Each structure stands twice: as C-alpha cells, then as structure tokens.
Structure 1
Amino acid sequence: MSQAFELPVLIVGGGLVGLTLAQALQKAGIACIVYERDYALETEHGGGWAITVHWALEALRECLPSNLFQRLDDIQVDREQGIKDTGRFLFLDMATGKPKYEVPPSPRKRVNRRLLRNLLGEGIDIRFNKRLKSFEIKDDKTVMVRFEDSSSVCGSLLIGCDGSNSKVRHLLFGDRPEEARLYRLPVRAMGATVRMTENQILPLRRIDPLLFQGCHPETGIFLWYSTISTPALNGSEGRSEPYYEGQLIISWKYVSCSDEVPTGNMDRIRKLRSMVSQFEESLRVAVENVSEDTEIKEIRLQDWPTRPWLNHGGLVTLAGDSGHAMTMYRGEAFNHGVTDVASLLKQLVRVRDGSESLQSAVPAYDTELLARTHEAVLLSRQACIDAHDPDNLSSDSPLVSKRARILVSAKEVSEDAVDTGGHEHRRGSKV
C-alpha cells in the first residue's frame, strides 16, 4: 500500500454517491470513513423516491462488490417488469395522454432510492451526526477536518459528497462565495408519494409500468410519474389491501409571485388539482385522487454548472451533486455521480499502486469531471426550460434526446463557466 493512504480517505456525505464511493474504495483496499450529518441512513424526512441507473450501469458494476451489484435486482421498483424492460421512456401530450416523443431506449435499472441507500451502506464505516465545520491542510499529505461538535479527524484525502448545497464546495471557494452558489431556475415544482390500489394505478401502468413524463400543449404544465414500489417490494402482497406507490411531480413556469408554491399542504393539494384540470381524464384523476393527508413537498429546481475549484495539492475534491448539481429533467445526476466514482477510483488505484501521486491523480480526476459535467448541467437546465415550453419543444431537445456521457474540452468549459449563472444554454443538445 502506498504511503499516500497511511491515513483514511474522508468522505463527507452519506448519500448515494458518497456510499458508492466508500464501497468502491473498500473494494480496492483503500481505507475510508463516511461522515454523515443525519443520525441514521433512514430518517423521518425520508430517503427520496426512485432512481434510474442507465448509461452508468457498467460503471456502477465496476464500483461495487459483485454481490451488492447483483442485489440491485431485488430493489427494482418492479422486479418482474425490470426483467422484461425495454428501456423506453415516453413523453406525452397531457391533453390527450398520447405519446409525443419516445426517448431513445437504453439498458436501465429503476430502483427504490431508500433501499438503494441501505444497500450501499452495508459494511461501511459511517459516523453519524457529523456536520462539517471547516478543513485545514496540515502538510502535503494530510488534511484535517473539523466538525460542529468540536471533534476533528485527519485523513489523506477529503472528498465532498455532501449534496447540491455542499459545505465542502463553499469552503473550497472561500472568499468567492458567489461562485459556489446554486442558480435557481424560473420554474416551480411540487412532488408527492401517492399510495394507490391496483385499480387506481392501472391506467398509469397501461401507459408505462415504470415511468413517463409530459406537458400540456396549452398551459405548459409538466407532469412526471414513476412507480416507486409494487406490492411485492413494499410487503403488502397477499394482504387484504395490497397497494402500489407512485411518484408524482408537477412543475410549471415561474412568472410572478402568484406562481410560488403555496405554504400549506392543503393549499398545495388544491393547486395540484387545479393545474391538471385540462389533462386527459386518467392522468387528471390520478392527481385528483391524491388523498388530503398526503404530504406535498416543494422541489427547489437549482443547479451549479461545474467550474474549476482549488484542490489544495490533490488533498480535497468533490463528487456527485457537490460538483455538478443539476435538475431532474434528464435523470442523469446519479449516473454522473457513479461516473465520478469510477473515474476517481481509477486514479486512486494508481496512487495505491505507487504509479501516481495524489498531487497528479486528483487534478486529473478534476479535469475529467469538469469536461464531462459542466455541459451536462447545462443540458439538464435546458431540458427543464423545454419541458414547460411545448411550442418550442422539438426532438433535438435535451429533454427527449438520448442520455449519454459527453465530454467537452477544458477550454470550452472555462469559457462557458464565466457566463452560465442565469442564462439558458443549448449548445450540444444533440447527444
């Protein structure tokens, strides 16, 4: 083992990417510790809905122990459908319920996010209730991390996997805080987990058993639906009242303060119902049937087009949403996060084997991430804008075009990074 890893790698953030990274490092024999701000992997504010792994499936296979990767099949939102899934992804005209576009298919697994997090956390050293306060470079091979509870720890490398509003990212930009801030898009959104009987969910599963999206041609109101669990997954199979769970998201353009998300839950339900009043009947009824005790969550649509950060001689870097926060409209955030892990792992294995130093390996990783994700964030931003603009939506929009890993040169990224805070961007939308 290289002397570079005499101290453990410190991962701040126990989300999906942080835990994937921990599994990958552990698989490679590199010691690591995950520091998570919450008190457990499962908390009362939930673990999210469901997630699609598509073009990063092979990268995920590389990162995980084989037994964990094989168990992904067990946490698919609908395992039976997953076996015969064609990978198709429909974009509907919400006035008619008919497909308008079909996103080019690709192999995928649609998995329950909460169960995925639990799976990725197996066998990992996770320290809970740890909120990052600061870090300090002690020497050319040691970084000290301090937490809000006054404790501290030294490591060989600090990796921020602490989400879109990353504390690590903000610390890296130091006296330039505006460069680390998220940009909020002129779109508002609400989402809910909806429990349904087989009869209630049947019209939606006839459209697609896993997921679909679309917008209304006149109002521009966007709807996303996906299955979160079937009776076989949620344990209600064989009971007197088996149920399915679905994820509903409604989003719309923000023009004035009247377009803000209401504060009260009942007001949010009323707004959801009013927004789908012109939808095709089965789609409208699905939203109208949302029970009044269902929690409706506001979804803040924000992003951060990746820009270069100071890696302190290869001792600090970012991965996942910390390094490329993006909207949900291309479903690529976790796929890029997994690719981050695979890319970083490749570099750190070289360090482990003594053929590379952290001082060269981490900058090489940063360069690859920047070239790949800056453009990806902007494509997701454009997809969000296009989702609510049916008059200008076309087949080459990043909303409905093929999902794929793309790279642009570092020079192009540097030129774009100066002017992406509040501007729409369409370059390279054909992917």
Structure 2
Amino acid sequence: MSENAGPAGSSAAENVHQAPNELPILIVGSGSTGLALAQGLTKAGIKCVVFEKQPSQARERDWNMGLHWGAPVLRSLMPDEWWSRIQSLQTDPHVPTKDIDTLSFVNGATGETMNSFDLGPFYRLKRSKLRELLSEGLDVQYNKRLSNITYAEDGESVTAHFTDGTSTTGRLLVGADGARSATRQLLLGPEHGAITRLPLGATFVQRKFTAEQAVYLRKFHPLYLATAHPENHFGFFGMQDAADPDDPSSWTFFFYISWNSSVEEQDATADWTDAQRLAQQKEFGKKFCDPWKSAYEWTPEGTPVWYMGLTCWDPDLPEHRWDNHGGLVTMVGDAVHPMTYQRGQGLNHSITDAGKLRDTLVKLSEGGDRKELISTYEEEVIKRAGEEVKQGTANSMMLHDWEKVQQSPFFQQGMKKNH
C-alpha cells in the first residue's frame, strides 16, 4: 500500500481528481453501526470503505445487546437473504425468538417480581457474531487510527488522515467510532468532544459453571433478568453463549451489579486489580437474591472481570453542536449519542441512525443538496437520540436510588421506544 493509499490502491491525490460522486463514503469505525451502514450503502450501490483502529476484527471482550424496535431497520440494511441468519447471532441460537417475551424486574433483596414487561420480537445478539456477519463482503482496512480530517477548498471532498501516515479521500466521512469517538473530538475539540462521566460504576463478569449450577442459574429466566436492590444497586443477569444446548457446563453467563460511584471514587480506584473488582462484586452479591448471590459465590477468585464507569454525551447541548463542513462529515451511533445501557436502547437508536443516513446518502446520490440533506439527518438524530441520552441518564440514576426506582423510565415503560 502506498503512503496515501486509497480504497483501490490509488493515492489520495488521485482520488481528489475523481468526480465527487465516484469517491467512496469513508466510515471510521467497524462496530455494529458502522458495518450496518456499510452494508446498507453497499446494498444501495454506493461505494464505501471502513477504517478500523484495531489490528483485526477480533476483540478481547465480547458482550450482548438487545435489538427490538430497531430490528426492521437492520433487516433493511442487510442483504435480503441474511435475515434468516439472525437466529444464529443470538446468545442462545437454540431458543427460537418469541413473538412476545417477558422481561422480569425483581427486588434484588427478596427476588419478588416488582414489574414485568412484554416485548417482542426481542433479539439478544452477541456483539462478536453480529460484527462477523456484518463484515462479510466489505472493504475493511485495519490498523487505521484517525488523526486528522481535512476538507477540499472546493467543498467537494474530505480526507481522513491516519497515524500510520496514510490518508484516503472520499465524498463524505462518517464517524462511527464509538463512545470515545476520535471523529467527535476532532470536530469539537478535546473538551466539548470528551465523554461525560457519570457517578455510577459497573463491573462485568462472564463465567461458566458446573452443569448443575448452570441449570439452577438459568431457571430464573432462560435469557435475561433485571433487578434493583434496596441498597441502591442495580443488576443484570443473562446468557452470553449457550454453546451446546445439551451441555450446561458449556454455557457462559453474563452478569453485573452497578452502584453509585463518584467520579472522585472512580479516579481513586482506577488502578484496582481484577481481584479487587471481583471482591467488591462478591460483597455486593452477598446481599442479593439468586441468581446473583449464588453466581458470585460460585465464581472463583482469579476470574477475569472488566470494569467501566458509566458515561454519556448529549448531542443536543449547544456547546456540542458541530460543524459538518457543508455536509462533508457527520456521525452515527455511539459517536454522536453514547448513552447508558440500563434500558436497552443504544443499539436500536444506532441502527436507526444507520438506516436514516443510508436513506440520506441515496438521496445525495440522486442529486440532492449535500449540506441540506446531512443537516436534516443530523437534526433528526439530535432530537431523537438526544432525548434518549437525557432520559437514559435520568433512568440510570433513578435505578440506583431505591426511593425513585418505580418512577424510572425502565420501570414505567420497560424497553419501549420513546418516539
């Protein structure tokens, strides 16, 4: 690859001399949203290339995500024949997706059901499997960490510059690079583009158990269960991977307890080891009902865990409005609206962004005004998802305040969409 290699091995300078509608859409980030957008553009006959800062598709951590009201949009972005494969992406591909399922919300101290929500179809997707599917047939270039964005003087093209010294020119750049988006920070600067830290923390555990233990833990719900505890904790317990339906010892469970943790406390404990994180979770778990209590008791010391302070970023704040440079650059998904996850809305909004941007870029290819089209797309995203960010943050705070749990959007609405 040349120093300024483009998607077809051509240099950035050569790309500039192509007609604007012949240049590719540049997508920064190969998470679920960026890949879904790329599939949608490919399906619509629009050339695109995806850039990923990691060296490969493989990730050290994997988790699962809830897809519900966003499912029709994802289906529209993928090749028509792919939707039959959605079942294989689930945490347990052997359990058929129900038209209507029930999510129970229980008292963490007693196990008593506080509320239950009907929803469906509800897909609990493994992130790794979803990304693997959505990567098929795409031009994804790895080891590409975005360092700068420049704009042509004639306003007809944009160039992405990477830390390895290469660059690629396109007709539009889309930041799909997650909650700590480099695109967002380049557009707004390190202060306004930085993620907003919240006074909440969570430590996540993924663990297999003996066959007998696994069968017991799964009897509370085959896929997912949520809880609030009177001591101002929130918890989730669910399936991460049911590898063999006939061998419960092959099942991996995914669970966590989150708690009120000031930013100062988060900084003071930033160097905690996995052993310290797990010990803290085990202490929390002692006061919980099952399945949390037994799961933590049965999780041996030395089990790897990962910790994250909760974060968000509200695109609707005046200081968070960015310049899209005449429609040459925009953002999708967590790059533009990272939100807390206790109400399961993030993937659905992100996939909706991808669908709406796909529609916008189809109109652009048909001769529409780029600045007007991109600005209209952004206003819809900011209004829809910005409201979700605000409500999601309020929801997470309420779920960690026993006196307000029943007032929370999650308790009142479950995972129904707001708009």
Q: Normalising by the residue count of structure 1, what TM-score does the alignment of the two structures yield?
A: 0.87
What displacement does 1:264 show?
1.5
**Partner SS state of residue 86, structure 2:** helix
Aligned equivalent of 2:188, options 145, 148, 173: 173
Hey, what's the Cα distance between the residues in 2 that align with 1:95 and 1:215? 8
Name 2:388's counterpart in structure 1.
376
1:240-283 per-residue CA deviation (whole Å, 9 max, x = no partner) reads x8410111111111257399477112222211111111112543
Q: Distance in 1 between matches of 2:165 and 2:412?
A: 48
* Contact 1:142–1:156, Cα closer than 8 Å, also in 2: yes
Shift of 1:106: 2.9
Residue 301 (structure 1) shift: 0.5
Partners of 1:208 and 1:238 lie apart in 2 by 17
Query: Deviating runs (4+, > 4 A) in structure 1?
Result: 258-262
Name the counterpart of 2:158: 143
> Once the 2 structures are TM-superposed, how far is the Cα of residue 363 of structure 1 from its aligned partner?
0.8
What residue in structure 1 maps to residue 75 of structure 2?
Answer: 61
Q: Is the 8 A contact 1:97 1:283 kept in 2?
A: no
The Cα of 1:298 is off from its aligned counterpart by: 0.6
CA separation in 2, counterparts of 1:199 and 1:262? 36
Q: What is the DSSP-based 3-state SS (H/G/I as helix, E as strand, rest coil) of the residue aligned with 2:403?
A: coil
**1:379-408 deviation line (CA, Å, top 9, x unaligned):** 11112111111122215534551434445x
Change (3 A) 1:254 1:238: closer
Provide the residue aligned with 2:27 in structure 1. 11
Q: Aligned residue for 1:231?
A: 243
Instruction: Tell me, yes or no, if the aligned pair for 2:24 and 2:170 is still in contact at 8 Å.
Output: yes
Matching of residue 22 in structure 1 with residue 38 in structure 2: yes
CA distance, structure 1, for counterparts of residue 211 and residue 83 of structure 2: 30
Cα 1:280–1:333, aligned 2, differ >3 Å: closer, same or farther?
A: same
Aligned pair partner of 2:167 in 152, 170, 183: 152
* Residue identity opposite 1:18 in structure 2: G
Please list, as runs of the form range in 1=range in 2, the aligned pairs for 1:339-354 lying within 5 A after superposition.
339-354=352-367
Deviates more, 1:322-331 or 1:73-82: 73-82
Tell me the alpha carbon deviations over residues 276-329 of structure 1, each in whole angstroms, 9 at most, x when there is no partner. 111125430111111223211012200001133211000000001000011111
Unaligned runs of 5+ in 1: 408-431
Segments of structure 2 that go 5 or more residues without pairing to the other structure are 1-17
Higher deviation after alignment, 30-39 or 89-98: 89-98
d(CA) in 2 for partners of 1:257, 1:11: 36
- In structure 2, the residue matched to 1:82 is 96
Q: 1: CA distance between counterparts of 2:88 and 2:315?
A: 34
Aligned partner of 2:203 among 168, 186, 190: 190
Q: Given the two structures, how large is their TM-score scaled by the length of structure 2?
A: 0.89
Instruction: Tell me by how many angstroms 1:169 deviates.
Output: 0.4
**2:333 equivalent among 320, 342, 346:** 320
Change (3 A) 1:311 1:378: same
* Amino acid in the other structure paired with 1:172: L
The answer to which of 98-107 and 186-195 deviates more is 98-107
2:362 partner amino acid = V
> In the alignment, which of 297, 311, 315 is matched to residue 306 of structure 1?
315
Q: Report the equivalent of 1:245.
A: 252
Q: How far has the Cα of 1:192 moved from its partner? A: 1.4
Contact 1:330 1:398 in 2 (8 A): yes
Distance 1:82 1:381 in 2: 32
Q: What amino acid is the match of 1:257? A: E
Q: For residue 414 of structure 1, what is the aligned residue in structure 2?
A: none
Task: Provide Cα deviations, 1:23-54, integer angstroms capped at 9, x if missing partner.
Answer: 010000000000000111013x23x2111101
What's the CA shift string for 1:356-387, capped at 9, x where partnerless?
Answer: 12222111110110110111001111121111
RMSD: 2.1
Instruction: Quote the residue 2:265 is aligned against.
Output: 257
Q: Tell me, what secondary structure is at the counterpart of 1:403?
A: coil
Q: For 1:266 and 1:178, how far apart are their aligned partners in 2? A: 33
Match of 1:88, SS?
Answer: strand
- Taking a change above 3 Å as real, the CA distance of residues 99 and 372 of structure 1, as seen in their structure-2 partners, is same
- Tell me if the contact between 1:262 and 1:268 (Cα under 8 Å) persists in the aligned partners: no
Q: Which residue of 2 aligns with 1:280?
A: 289
* 1:128-182 deviation per Cα after TM superposition (whole angstroms, max 9, x unaligned): 00000101111321001110001111000000000101010011114xx422221
1:337 Cα deviation (Å)?
Answer: 0.6
Percent of aligned positions that are identical: 31
Q: Which residue of 1 aligns with 2:379?
A: 367
2:64 and 2:91 in contact (8 A); partners too: yes
Q: Secondary structure at the match of 1:95?
A: coil
In 1, Cα distance between the equivalents of 2:210 and 2:370? 54
